[in-house]
Structure 1
């Protein structure tokens, strides 16, 4: 049996259908009944609803599992503790292989969530479990393109001149599915998952302009405005930890590039990874289909 945590998140929505289609024996762990309903509709019969920060939930999740695909709780103050516990409980439960979804350059410890994942990586490597670590770059995400499609403005909350590498979530999910299907082939591996190209915000806006046929400008958002919108609050004192994490991201990405190399991902996929242009073309086509109004009847 394969356990997938955060099974209705960015990765889970791409990974779970692949595993269901392959006929894998699958358990999905999510935090809400709404997510559980979506997974059952997608064909998952074994769905566990609960907070992984609760060791009892982790113990139930790990029972009878051979391979774990672990995605930690994003922006959660207990992310490190929960990751450590997941590894320890997996070992106690007899899990054979633990696959950890980490992050590109986890050694960058002035990024809070990177330092946490670096510590979890170390705990996993020292655990005695067979392991594989995936280190994806920044995701190409649909919601970041919507303002560009709607308003012809591409917005970031850090310096527009800094370079970043990216990766399509679908490509990450394809690698993850291959790893959990044949974990023995990937024992002890740490894989950087990076698409071709490195881009400033101006470069990204230019690509979107070329795809949409409409001039798109790049705009740096005030970090406080971005934080409130991202976290859905008016008072950042209500979410101090989450605000601290996102501030650290804006500060780091404003002072340093965040880049990687596509060689490993190319090898794992057996093809050229999805480029940002390909991603934008796909999402723009989907956007047009969603927003196109039917012609009135004659």
Structure 2
């Protein structure tokens, strides 16, 4: 039995079908009944609904599980404590292999979420369980292309001239499925998951322009406007932790490049990873069919 947390999120909804396709027993953990209905409709029969901050929910989710794929709750003020509790609960339940979804360069501790993931990596390594740590770069996500496809503007909330490395979530899900399906070769490993290429916002806009055949400009969103939109409020002080985290991202990415190397991901996939240009081609084709990115 494999437990996948955040199972209706960016990674989970791509990972679940891969695990089911090879006949693995899958338990999915989600926070809402709506997410549970989506997963059951997709063929996941064992779904635990609840908040993993609840000890009873966590214990029930881990019961009888051999492997765990743990994706922490984004923007959650208790992310560190919840991750520690999940690792401890897995160990207590006799889980044999714990796979942690971390982040590229978790040692960059002025990024709030990276500091948390660095602490979780340390706790996992010290747990006595077999482990694998995946460290993906910034995700290529469909919704981030929407302004470019609809309005001809590629937007970021940090300095447009800074370079970033990226990775397709589909490639991350493929690696996760490989690690969970055949754990032994990957036990004790920490893998950086990075696609080829280093891009400024101008490079990304140009790549979208090449795919769509239209002029695309790069535009920086005012950081405070981005913060209000991300949190869905005109008063970010209502969410002090989330505000601190998002401001740290904008500040760090405006002062430093965030880059990695694609060699490890290439080896794990056995092919060249998906590039941003290929990702954009795929998502633009979907946009033309569906009318939305």
The answer, yes or no, to whether TM exceeds 0.5 is yes
Trace 1:160-175 onto structure 2 (pairs within 5 A): 160-175=160-175
* Match in the other structure for 1:296: none
Q: Indicate the larger mover: 134-143 or 53-62.
A: 53-62
Count residues in correspondence. Answer: 292
2:291 and 2:25 map into 1 onto residues whose CA distance is: 38
Counterpart check, 1:73 vs 2:73: yes
* Match in the other structure for 1:193: 193
2:223 and 2:291 map into 1 onto residues whose CA distance is: 30
1:200-247: CA deviation from partner (whole Å, max 9, x where unpaired)? 000000000000000100000011111111121121122111111000
Task: Measure how far apart 1:291 and its partner are.
Answer: 2.3
2:140 and 2:206 map into 1 onto residues whose CA distance is: 16
Task: Measure how far apart 1:53 and its partner are.
Answer: 1.1
* Match in the other structure for 1:53: 53
Trace 1:38-117 onto structure 2 (pairs within 5 A): 38-117=38-117
1:247 and 1:70 map into 2 onto residues whose CA distance is: 25
Trace 1:123-142 onto structure 2 (pairs within 5 A): 123-142=123-142
Task: Measure how far apart 1:134 and its partner are.
Answer: 0.1
2:93 and 2:40 map into 1 onto residues whose CA distance is: 25
* Match in the other structure for 2:32: 32
| Structure 1 segments of 4+ aligned residues over 6 angstroms from their partners | none
1:135 and 1:291 map into 2 onto residues whose CA distance is: 33
Counterpart check, 1:246 vs 2:246: yes
- CA RMSD of the aligned region, Å? 0.8
* Match in the other structure for 1:4: 4
1:65 and 1:173 map into 2 onto residues whose CA distance is: 20
Task: Measure how far apart 1:132 and its partner are.
Answer: 0.2
Q: Which runs of 5+ in 1 are unaligned?
A: 293-298
* Match in the other structure for 1:280: 280
1:73-97: CA deviation from partner (whole Å, max 9, x where unpaired)? 1110000001001011100000000
Task: Measure how far apart 1:290 and its partner are.
Answer: 1.1
Q: Counterpart of 1:149 in 2: which secondary structure?
A: helix
2:6 and 2:278 map into 1 onto residues whose CA distance is: 27
* Match in the other structure for 1:295: none
Counterpart check, 1:213 vs 2:247: no
1:170-225: CA deviation from partner (whole Å, max 9, x where unpaired)? 00000000000011111100000000000000000000000000010000001111
* Match in the other structure for 1:291: 291
2:105 and 2:184 map into 1 onto residues whose CA distance is: 25
Counterpart check, 1:271 vs 2:271: yes
Q: Which runs of 5+ in 2 are unaligned?
A: none
1:55 and 1:80 map into 2 onto residues whose CA distance is: 15
Q: Counterpart of 2:159 in 1: which secondary structure?
A: coil
1:97 and 1:16 map into 2 onto residues whose CA distance is: 17
2:134 and 2:142 map into 1 onto residues whose CA distance is: 22
1:85-142: CA deviation from partner (whole Å, max 9, x where unpaired)? 1011100000000000000000000000000000000000001010000000000000
* Match in the other structure for 1:231: 231
